[in-house]
């Protein structure tokens, strides 16, 4: 199935999209990667969704990516005797370790790690920032705060700590159990939530042992401050703007998004822009004009993928949301401003053979107006380097490894095809031409450029370019 755009679409599955019929509709509407949110899905639900997706993949003959999003640490206050209390700006309010119902002077906080880490002068944001507290006196049993903004608090509201580096990792006991369950399934990516430091990624990688690729969600100021190290250790990155916008000034988020996209492109790491992209389509069949502009901005900036959350998981119009996102992306990529903006962000190649070959392939394909770049890729590295160049011609990524093709479904511009390794150079070129013709990227008489590593099948050894004509229906070169 040929997509008419290069940016990819990630869609979250949930109550509105949990049966096979709807999931197939979402795939046909444009979804490239399905996200399973482990905050809401138990292990049986996760396994059921994976089975459905793989059935659709087999039926449609296209590799589909699956992303399992781990919940991460959820910090919440306890409960109140009356469920909710009113507060006054300027009053004192205490968070403590006493497991008894709260009142308008105090509440239970069941997280020892917060008491161990918070210092006077640091902020505590409750209920997505609707209540803002400033720590004044801190012990290992309680945090006495001043109410800075907000006028009420209720049961089990979330706690955000924009100024505090917690002494625990991003993976909870639940995340460990979820990750072990995920590793038993044919899942391609895991997303790590609320990471603060590079060590959080190393912990997940040690457990997964290369069975899944790791996507780091950037949603805390602490992660933004160490973004270079985090990008280096991650396989991909997500700009998770919802929580990021709670813990950082809202007006700072667009600039952070742009900086992270640029950094990831320079590093050759896929980057996803997520949260509230078509939020109004949870209840409405059309988005707001501002949401359309938001999606367009991510496409103009060169993001690898754009994501739907509640719109596809719990909204009333999941299929319409995917179709709308697809239409916006297709339109933007054909806008006269798109190519100049993408090209202006072009990163300098690294001094490696793979980067030199990828750069040369883009320049030759654009200079000679070739119909496609065909990249043989076993590990996926060659495909990602070809995508990093953001070429105008389409990129067809050929891999003998199904898991590689599925992971690359997240990457900008890659049309992934699973095919056996070529037997020799002639077979390699003829196979590439035949697939370009079959997949609808070339017609007889077109020329394509083929990149691969010699000896064939050597991972990460891209060192060869070939230009070939596409012949008639047999696809053989002339």
- pLDDT, tens only, 315-341: 999 999 999 999 999 999 999 999 999
pLDDT at 462: 79
Q: Report which of 264, 273, 281, 280 is spatially closest to residue 245, judged by C-alpha positions.
A: 273
191-219 in b/e form (b: 16+ CB < 10 A) is bbbbbbbbebbebbbeebeebbbbbbbbb
Q: Which residue in 164, 275, 382, 462 is the catalytic one?
A: 275
What structural domains does the chain harbor?
8-72+170-335 (3.20.20.60), 84-160 (2.40.33.10), 353-469 (3.40.1380.20)
Please give the average per-residue pLDDT across 283-290, as a whole number: 98
pLDDT at 476: 52
- What is the per-residue pLDDT across 114-170, written as a single tens digit (0 to 9) for each? 999 999 999 999 999 999 999 999 999 999 999 999 999 999 999 999 999 998 888
**Which residues contact residue 390 at a Cβ distance below 8 angstroms, ignoring those fewer than 6 apart?**
265, 302, 342, 343, 345, 346, 362, 412, 413
pLDDT at 453: 80
pLDDT at 242: 92
Q: Which residue in 3, 25, 76, 146 is the catalytic one?
A: 76
**pLDDT-based confidence at 458, cuts 50/70/90?**
low
Using DSSP's 3-state secondary structure scheme, residue 13 falls into: strand
Distances (CA, A) of 433 to 63, 390, 426, 441, 458: 20, 21, 11, 10, 21
Q: Which residues are registered as beta bridge partners of 159?
A: 126
275 is catalytic: yes
pLDDT at 473: 59
pLDDT at 457: 63
* Whether the Cβ atoms of residue 271 and residue 303 lie closer than 8 Å to each other: yes
Distances (CA, A) of 271 to 19, 235, 268, 423: 28, 9, 9, 34
Q: Which residue in 5, 6, 35, 390 is the catalytic one?
A: 35
CA atoms within 13 A on the CB side of 119: 5
297 is catalytic: no
Burial group, residue 110, by CB count within 10 angstroms (0-12, 13-18, 19+): exposed
Please give the average per-residue pLDDT across 220-237, as a whole number: 97
Alpha-carbon torsion 406, 343, 5, 431, what sign? negative
Average pLDDT, the chain: 95
Please give the average per-residue pLDDT across 245-252, as a whole number: 94
449-468 in b/e form (b: 16+ CB < 10 A) is bbbbbeebeeeebbebbeeb
CA distance 366 to 373: 10
pLDDT at 478: 44
217 is catalytic: yes
Q: Report which of 28, 69, 4, 8 is spatially closest to residue 384, judged by C-alpha positions.
A: 8
pLDDT at 425: 87
Q: Which residue in 8, 62, 123, 217 is the catalytic one?
A: 217
């Amino acid at each position: 199935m040929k997509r008419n755009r290069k940016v990819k679409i990630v869609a979250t599955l949930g109550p509105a999209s949990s049966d096979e019929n709807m999931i197939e509709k979402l795939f046909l509407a444009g979804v490239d990667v399905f996200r399973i949110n482990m905050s809401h899905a138990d292990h049986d639900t996760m396994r059921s969704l994976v089975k459905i997706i793989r059935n659709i993949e087999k039926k449609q003959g296209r590799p589909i990516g699956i992303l399992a999003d781990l919940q991460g640490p959820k910090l919440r206050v306890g409960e109140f005797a009356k469920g909710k209390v009113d507060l006054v700006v300027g009053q004192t309010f205490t968070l403590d370790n006493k497991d008894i119902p709260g009142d308008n002077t105090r509440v239970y906080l069941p997280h020892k790690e917060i008491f161990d880490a918070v210092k006077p002068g640091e902020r505590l944001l409750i209920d997505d920032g609707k209540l803002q507290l400033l720590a004044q006196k801190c012990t290992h049993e309680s945090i006495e705060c001043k109410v800075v903004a907000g006028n009420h608090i209720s049961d089990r509201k979330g706690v955000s700590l924009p100024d505090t580096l917690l002494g625990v990792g991003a993976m909870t006991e639940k995340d460990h159990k979820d990750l072990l369950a995920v590793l038993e399934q044919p899942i391609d990516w895991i997303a790590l939530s609320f990471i603060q430091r590079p060590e959080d990624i190393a912990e997940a990688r040690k457990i997964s042992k290369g069975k899944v690729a790791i996507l780091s969600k950037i949603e805390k100021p602490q992660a933004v401050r160490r973004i270079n190290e985090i990008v280096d250790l991650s396989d991909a990155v997500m700009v998770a703007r919802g929580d990021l916008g709670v813990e950082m000034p809202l007006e700072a988020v667009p600039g952070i998004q742009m900086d992270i996209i640029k950094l990831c492109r320079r590093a050759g790491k896929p980057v996803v822009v997520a949260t509230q992209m078509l939020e109004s389509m949870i209840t409405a069949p059309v988005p707001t004009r501002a949401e359309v502009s938001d999606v367009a901005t991510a496409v103009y900036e060169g993001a690898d993928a754009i994501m739907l959350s509640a719109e596809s998981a719990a909204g009333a119009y999941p299929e319409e949301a995917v179709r709308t996102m697809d239409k916006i992306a297709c339109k933007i990529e054909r806008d006269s401003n798109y190519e100049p903006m993408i090209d202006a962000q072009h990163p300098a190649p690294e001094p490696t053979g793979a980067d030199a070959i990828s750069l040369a392939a883009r320049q030759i394909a654009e200079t000679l107006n070739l119909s496609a770049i065909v990249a043989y890729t076993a590990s996926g590295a060659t495909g990602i380097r070809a995508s990093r160049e953001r070429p105008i011609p389409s990129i067809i990524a050929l891999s003998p490894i199904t898991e590689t093709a599925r992971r690359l479904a997240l990457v900008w511009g890659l049309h992934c095809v699973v095919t056996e390794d070529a037997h020799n150079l002639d077979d390699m070129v003829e196979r590439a031409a035949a697939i370009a013709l079959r997949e609808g990227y070339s017609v007889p008489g077109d020329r394509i450029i083929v990149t691969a590593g010699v000896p064939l099948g050597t991972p990460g050894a891209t060192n060869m370019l070939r230009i070939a004509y596409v012949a008639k229906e047999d696809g053989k070169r002339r």
